[in-house]
Structure 1
Amino acid sequence: MTILSTDNLSKSFGVNLLFENITFGISEGDKTALVAPNGTGKSTLLKILAGRETADTGKVMVQNGIRVAFLAQEPELDDTKTIREYIASGDFELVQIIQEYERAAEAQAEDFNPMTQKAFEKASAAMEAANAWDYEQRMEQILDILNITDLDQPISTLSGGERKRVALAFVLIDNPDLLILDEPTNHLDLDMIEWLESYLIQANITLLMVTHDRYFLDRVCDHIIEIDRGKLYHHNGNYQYYLEKRSERESLRQKEMHKAEQLYKKELEWMRRGPKARTSKSKSRIQSFHDVKDKVSNKTDDSELQLEAGMERMGKKILELENISKRYDETVILDDFSYSFKRGERIGIIGKNGVGKSTFLKILTGEVAADSGEVDTGETIVFGHYQQKGIEVDESMRVIDVLKEIASVIELSDGTQISASQFLEHFMFTPEMQYTPVEKLSGGEKRRLGLMMTLIKNPNFLILDEPTNDLDLDTLQVLEDFLLNFSGCLIVVSHDRFFMDKLVDHYFAFEGDGEIRDHHGTYSEYREMKAKEEAEKKRERQAQKSKKSKSNDQNRQSSTTNKLTFAERKEFKKLEKEVASLEEEVELLEEEMNQPEMDYKEREELTARYMQLKDEVDEKTIRWLELAEKEG
């Protein structure tokens, strides 16, 4: 069933046409990605579908009763509210039921009597009738995963990344029928991204999103809508399938263009013949000539200019860190860290938000001083540092002038030179865009310009802090190709796992409390190693907890009629549902794993998930039994 459809949508900003006569539908249960170059109006289109903007022409139709939630690329939140108040403004009736239950439970815990007991029973029945236990459980899980802990914090005090995470929590908790997400992985660390990936795969929800994260897109989406040269293409498959189909289409287009060029040459020669020949020309053939001419004139040059920037030759000493330590209050960033960088080394940096990845980069370049230790930089090292905050320029300036202020020409490694305009064109700034004021650029185009401003300086030690945010997939491919040809040192911080695995040789994994692990292998291999370590620690904790629980059970004496506390009663209720849900998922996985045609990689992923679920079932069952025994 189609739950959302569009009919001939068009949108322009001034003379800039974003899209024209777009018609498509979203079917119930589809998980769809929208793919298009920066500046073609992806974010605007999502806002129109969500009812936040209006189209110039056409209409959007949503099935009756369908609840739509929208996450903007830059969310607009109510600065007069706290996080708690903002979250509570979602499903008002359901939130009221939960709040009434919490008040009744707290009153019963403070003064247990027939009146408070009756109020608590009434509130519990309301929770059961509204299925609010699941809502509360989902809310706690989502807030915890997204590291939203202080619910009384005013929204006005949040950073850009925190605002994005609060807005994401809000739309997920609301549990809509259709979820529209614009770059949902921006400002999330890798643990959060992997959780969100798993959540969206398992959720019974219809999804439409824009994302540049190719691993995320490939695993979550089963349908891709592509806008290319003003035309709409549907791909019923994941990202890899889309790439194959686009490649086939481009190959066919090139063949058609080659035929058109050959035909144009023949018809042009015919048109140029003398007046006598021209008198017998048919009108249809003349019209055909002009059609072919228009087609050839609209040819786009998809050939790639292979750029390898010239740079300062590196000496023997690159960059050496000796016993570096850094902390902010109680947060330890580095603890007696030493490392000697090698020529041409390519390092990826991973870790949760807040562990100090950006601070570490600034220590390397001297922007931030270490508390102790020494940073020794080679005399020939020229840093290029692209930072998360993006560019700071006069936005009334034209794109080409911004770049020319840094350099008018760029020298390549073979000694040849290209102009600033050619460099911009390589990174998909058309001649028309180059003479556009910066303020007219989209968010992704501004970030792309910021990258150009870093790369044009010809550094030999390149540091990129989240360079992939808001970039479209075509730009990412161009950037990857450029960086693969870069012969200097490269350090990248990114939540884009595909981007990192393609470019780096090894990872610095910031694991917290100043601990940095040097991992030689892919990101997926690092996650597998960490999962095994966590599973082992969990088994040890379970064994200790079970032993302690048995000892406590033998000595526990209950002095009240209600043996479970308020918090334990809530936990007991949740565990019943959680264990049943997990056991159901285990059964489904067992069925999937018994399929003989499954490939090795998929079976390995399912096995890892199966072992994780079995551990969770064991842990929660033990706790449920403890509470059941206490309840009597």
Structure 2
Amino acid sequence: MAHLLGGENLSISFGTRSVLDGVTVGLEEGDRIGVVGRNGDGKSTLMRLLAQKATPDAGRVTKRRDVNVGYLDQSDVLDGDLTVGAAIVGDRADHEWAANPKIRDIMGGLVADVDWHAQVRSLSGGQKRRVALAKLLIEPHDVIMLDEPTNHLDVEGVAWLARHLKTRWRPTEGAFLVVTHDRWFLDEVCTDTWEVHDGIVDPFDGGYAAYVLARAERDRMAAVVEGKRQNLMKKELAWLRRGAPARTSKPKFRIEAANALIADVPEPRDSVALSKMATARLGKDVIDLEDVSLAYDDPSAGTAALFDRITLRLAPGERVGVVGVNGAGKSTLLRLLAGEIEPTSGRVRRGKTVVPAVLSQEVRELDEVSDLRVVEVIQREKQTFAVGGKELTAGQLVEQLGFTNEKQWTRVSELSGGERRRLQLLRLLVGEPNVLMLDEPTNDLDTDTLAAVEDVLDGWPGTLVVVSHDRYLLERVTDHQLALLGDGKVRDLPGGVEQYLRLREEALAASDAASSAGAASGEARTTAATASGGRASAASGSAHSEAEKRDARKELARIERQLGKIAAQEEKLHAQMAASADDYGRLGELNAELQGLLGQKEELELAWLEASEVLE
């Protein structure tokens, strides 16, 4: 495999802390590499160095002269004054990019529901992330580096991105490097894993599951070696301590060897452990939603229903995961269950002993204690805590959570996103709730911390409700899942996340069929309106109504899927023609089939452009 780029003896420090120390890594054609490690250990720093977005203190980054590198930063780098279309395709004419099936697939997979003419500054965080991804992926990069690309993506978006990366190049072409905490995504797309820790990079073959197994084996071997070393060290210590007078007569080389052995004790890596806290007793009744509806005021459509006569019953000790499309009301459902908002109609019943706790996405609850230090936040709850039969101080408890002595005295306002989330989770647990609700708990957490959180949740004795796009987490800590598909209903998912993705595909297919029928009837209505002078359109001052624009978006999505199928058929025909190069009869048949396919493709591309004009 040809070498694309690499780093030689890379070292970089921030203040007095060395983040990377003499690291040498390389990317070859065909590499599909996931980068894991604890927050702050240098994953993003390594990627920025390799992308030449930062300069190392020592060492150098080299790349082949013709290599084109694409890089997705965690931060928002889009120009807020641009429209979505301009941010993605620049000043290219529609026909320049619309005729490319790969670009159409990217548009359909990431930004089909985003207003093409909206300013970037008006978009949500998730929409901005998808626009930035689309901008990167439409370019013909040889190497793609993605820093937390799954942040703000829903389950469908993560699945689409995984499919795209797996099919973007042939197996021996291109390369990508991805930093993410989404372990399902790592397993799905990566063939190699780099672990960044303690200033070095350890390579492992395989995705996340293979990396975990390999690391466990590495740690087991290290434990065997350490056990032997400890035994030897005990003997040498005993030998050294047989009396100071005798030490002068001991051979000098034995003393030096013993001292070297004692000095060779490795520094322990920070342990990340969340404590299992006592939980208030939970009675037979937990929380029931009975025939609940919730509506809100939509300026463009009047009153809109978010939930329509839903019934949901939570049992003691039940563990349920919630997935759904953006805007379907996942976070709102948690707020209903927690009693933060009341329904428009229906009834919410809560047991007398229920003590709920909600971990929100933004962790804004910490804003009120932003001037306090980490240990002071926990001290405000209690001074001592009973954990596993032992009594711990607040300092000991937060140390188990991964906050070192130095970090314990850091102000909350100076914590990273992952550290804030860890602190707020511990803050909730020390309140001893018996119903725990987590809204996207995996945001900003590294894989080690996620494993620790899952260990806590595995042993959580109360009722657990988790909203997340992290399939790995949902399948690990919940017993069953529910789906919100945006139609006001709550559906049970016996088949888990895979069933949810199938339901979404069926819903989109049904929407396509309805939009096709609507387009035909709409054509007749348009003709009638034109004959009568089009007074309604003139009165509104708009060439196309919102309903027509919605139909156009659906039509675009349908056409893009058909074009994707045609592209696959076209590639298959080309392969068959190459295999039948000596059979002129068969070659003629295949060519005729190809010409018919190209005719269909041309018609669809024209229809795509016509539908896109409705949105202008």
TM-score by length of 2: 0.79
- The whole-number CA distance in structure 1 between the counterparts of 2:498 and 2:604 is 38
CA contact (8 A) 1:143 1:169 kept: no
CA contact (8 A) 2:42 2:197 kept: no
Q: CA deviation at 1:621?
A: 9.3
1:339 aligned onto 2:325:
no
Structure 2 residue aligned with 1:5: 6
Worse overlay, 181-190 or 68-77 = 68-77
Q: 1:407 to 1:173 in 2, by over 3 A?
A: farther
Worse overlay, 138-147 or 37-46 = 138-147
Residue 272 of structure 1, aligned match among 238, 241, 249: 241
Q: CA deviation at 1:589?
A: 13
Structure 2 residue aligned with 1:406: 381
How many corresponding residue pairs? 543
Q: CA deviation at 1:622?
A: 11
1:514 aligned onto 2:488:
yes
Q: 1:252 to 1:583 in 2, by over 3 A?
A: same
1:97-246 matches, cutoff 5 A: 98-99=93-94, 101=95, 132=97, 135=100, 138-139=103-104, 141-142=106-107, 145-204=110-169, 205-246=174-215
- What SS does the aligned partner of 1:291 have? helix
Structure 2 residue aligned with 1:368: 341
CA contact (8 A) 1:386 1:465 kept: yes
Residue 295 of structure 2, aligned match among 327, 340, 343: 327
| CA deviations over 1:586-617 (Å, ceiling 9, x no partner) | 79999xxxxxxxxxxxxxxxxxxxxxxxxxx9
| CA deviations over 1:51-100 (Å, ceiling 9, x no partner) | 333222222222212221211222222223222222234xxxxx53x35x
CA contact (8 A) 2:324 2:330 kept: yes
- The whole-number CA distance in structure 1 between the counterparts of 2:574 and 2:313 is 49
Structure 1 residue aligned with 2:542: none
Q: 1:309 to 1:584 in 2, by over 3 A?
A: farther
Q: For structure 1, which runs of at least 5 residues remain unmatched after alignment?
A: 90-94, 102-126, 553-566, 591-616
Q: 1:362 to 1:269 in 2, by over 3 A?
A: same
Structure 2 residue aligned with 1:378: 351
1:291 aligned onto 2:266:
no
Worse overlay, 397-406 or 473-482 = 397-406
Q: 1:424 to 1:589 in 2, by over 3 A?
A: farther
| CA deviations over 1:196-247 (Å, ceiling 9, x no partner) | 1100111113110111111110010011111233332111222222112111
Code of the residue aligned with 1:582 in structure 2: it is A
Structure 2 residue aligned with 1:581: 567
Code of the residue aligned with 2:286 in structure 1: it is I
| CA deviations over 1:294-350 (Å, ceiling 9, x no partner) | 333634586x97843212111232112122111333543210112222111111101
1:416-427 matches, cutoff 5 A: 416-427=390-401
Q: 1:133 to 1:29 in 2, by over 3 A?
A: farther
Residue 226 of structure 2, aligned match among 229, 245, 257: 257
Code of the residue aligned with 2:160 in structure 1: it is W
1:312 aligned onto 2:280:
yes
- What SS does the aligned partner of 1:234 have? strand
Code of the residue aligned with 1:311 in structure 2: it is T
1:574-613 matches, cutoff 5 A: 578-579=564-565, 581-583=567-569
Structure 2 residue aligned with 1:357: 330
Structure 2 residue aligned with 1:451: 425
Structure 2 residue aligned with 1:109: none
CA contact (8 A) 1:148 1:166 kept: no
Residue 454 of structure 2, aligned match among 464, 480, 487: 480
What percent of counterpart residues are identical?
A: 36
- What SS does the aligned partner of 1:256 have? helix
Structure 1 residue aligned with 2:28: 27
- The whole-number CA distance in structure 1 between the counterparts of 2:370 and 2:329 is 30
Code of the residue aligned with 1:195 in structure 2: it is W
| CA deviations over 1:454-485 (Å, ceiling 9, x no partner) | 22222110000000012111111111110010
CA contact (8 A) 1:575 1:624 kept: no
- The whole-number CA distance in structure 2 between the counterparts of 1:162 and 1:572 is 21
Q: CA deviation at 1:403?
A: 2.5
| CA deviations over 1:331-378 (Å, ceiling 9, x no partner) | 432101122221111111011111111111111122223222222222
CA contact (8 A) 2:288 2:348 kept: yes
1:430 aligned onto 2:404:
yes
Q: 1:152 to 1:290 in 2, by over 3 A?
A: farther
Code of the residue aligned with 1:28 in structure 2: it is E
- The whole-number CA distance in structure 1 between the counterparts of 2:449 and 2:508 is 39
- The whole-number CA distance in structure 2 between the counterparts of 1:275 and 1:230 is 40
Q: CA deviation at 1:410?
A: 3.1
1:63 aligned onto 2:49:
no
CA contact (8 A) 1:349 1:491 kept: yes
CA contact (8 A) 1:579 1:621 kept: no
Code of the residue aligned with 1:411 in structure 2: it is A
Q: CA deviation at 1:252?
A: 0.7
- The whole-number CA distance in structure 2 between the counterparts of 1:409 and 1:461 is 23
- The whole-number CA distance in structure 2 between the counterparts of 1:179 and 1:214 is 19
- The whole-number CA distance in structure 1 between the counterparts of 2:484 and 2:185 is 22
- The whole-number CA distance in structure 2 between the counterparts of 1:28 and 1:628 is 33
1:465 aligned onto 2:439:
yes
CA contact (8 A) 1:357 1:493 kept: yes
CA contact (8 A) 1:188 1:353 kept: no
Structure 1 residue aligned with 2:611: none
- The whole-number CA distance in structure 2 between the counterparts of 1:453 and 1:519 is 32
Q: 1:19 to 1:436 in 2, by over 3 A?
A: farther
Q: 1:574 to 1:506 in 2, by over 3 A?
A: closer
Code of the residue aligned with 1:322 in structure 2: it is E
- The whole-number CA distance in structure 2 between the counterparts of 1:364 and 1:572 is 37
Code of the residue aligned with 2:141 in structure 1: it is P
Alignment root-mean-square deviation, CA: 3.6
Code of the residue aligned with 1:315 in structure 2: it is G
| CA deviations over 1:498-528 (Å, ceiling 9, x no partner) | 1101111221200112021022343234445
Q: CA deviation at 1:168?
A: 1.4
1:81 aligned onto 2:43:
no
Q: CA deviation at 1:5?
A: 0.8
Q: 1:290 to 1:527 in 2, by over 3 A?
A: same
Q: 1:339 to 1:291 in 2, by over 3 A?
A: same
- What SS does the aligned partner of 1:77 have? coil
Q: CA deviation at 1:149?
A: 2.4
